[in-house]
Amino acid sequence: MEIPATERRSSEHRALDLLDPAGLAEVFSDNDRQAVEAVRGARAEIAQAIAMARDALGSGGRLLLSGAGTSGRLAVIEAAECWPTFSSDRVQALIAGGSQAFLKAREGAEDDREQGATDARALNLGAKDLFVGVAASGRTPYVWGTLDAAREAKAKTAILSCASPTEAWVDLQIVLATGPEALTGSTRLKAGTATKCALNAITTGAFALLGKVMDNLMVDVVPSNAKLVVRARGIVQTLGGVDADRAGALLDAAGGQVKTAVLMACTGLEAEPARERLAASGGHLRRALEADS
């Protein structure tokens, strides 16, 4: 079997242990630049993934992610961050070896394709879902097992990898051509950086299209800690044209819902009528505001 690009030995970095700190910093910063270039090279496919995720989430389906090792941890992080950022729990992730593998590596778990299928089936997959397998090498059996289950359920499927995938039947292939790592095979480096960038783009882009962003502000942020309370209040101030005290009062009246508070500030509506207008606009704050003009 051909060795994937992510496992090949780089011809440029044969003596890491002989470099001084400045030399090492130069190597890894140069590799980070290559990771970003690889993401840019796949922007057409990432745009397709954004559209597919928008369609899945907008139709009541989910964006589901799976991975093993570093790829699995990145998938879990992406899913976890969508709740506080976008007030959505419909981005979910599986990691080979279960939740305990997030903190302590269980490398052998990635080889079990049938366990991947079993874990994915437990999510009650449906045709409205989009399932994205994340595998730096493009060949992780556990990940392909989750995609097998998604295909059985007639969900849309995609593979996000940093080398050519071993199977081509998925609806979308996103290949981030990061090449060999500075430390041979350590895909937590370039491949991990590129993968995180791509996942960021897919989720943020999809939710922007779904009305959870206005301008460049996260108008569905969940104010669940002191920092996010300040952020939410600042968004209401900016979009609602009110001072900090008024923004705080509106947020309280809106039950912490930023979009509702902004609409109240701009229209004079009470909380419930503002929520109704937002619902009528499909949750898009800009559309709800334009309906008042």
Question: Which domains are present in the chain?
Answer: 5-209 (3.40.50.10490), 226-290 (1.10.8.1080)
Angle CA 188–192–196, to nearest 5: 145
Tens-digit pLDDT profile for residues 104-159: 877 788 999 999 999 999 999 999 999 999 999 999 999 999 999 999 999 999 99
How far lies 31's CA from each of 53, 68, 102, 116, in Å? Answer: 29, 22, 25, 31
DSSP letter at 173 equals E
* Residues recognised as catalytic: 81, 110
Q: How far apart are CA 265 and CA 256, in angstroms?
A: 14
Instruction: Give the rounded distance of the alpha carbon of 174 from its chain centre.
Output: 14
pLDDT in tens, 79-103: 999 999 999 999 999 999 998 888 8
Prediction pTM value: 0.93
Question: Any residues with CB less than 8 A from the CB of 67 and at least 6 apart, and which?
Answer: 73, 74, 75, 93, 94, 95, 96, 133, 134, 135, 140, 143
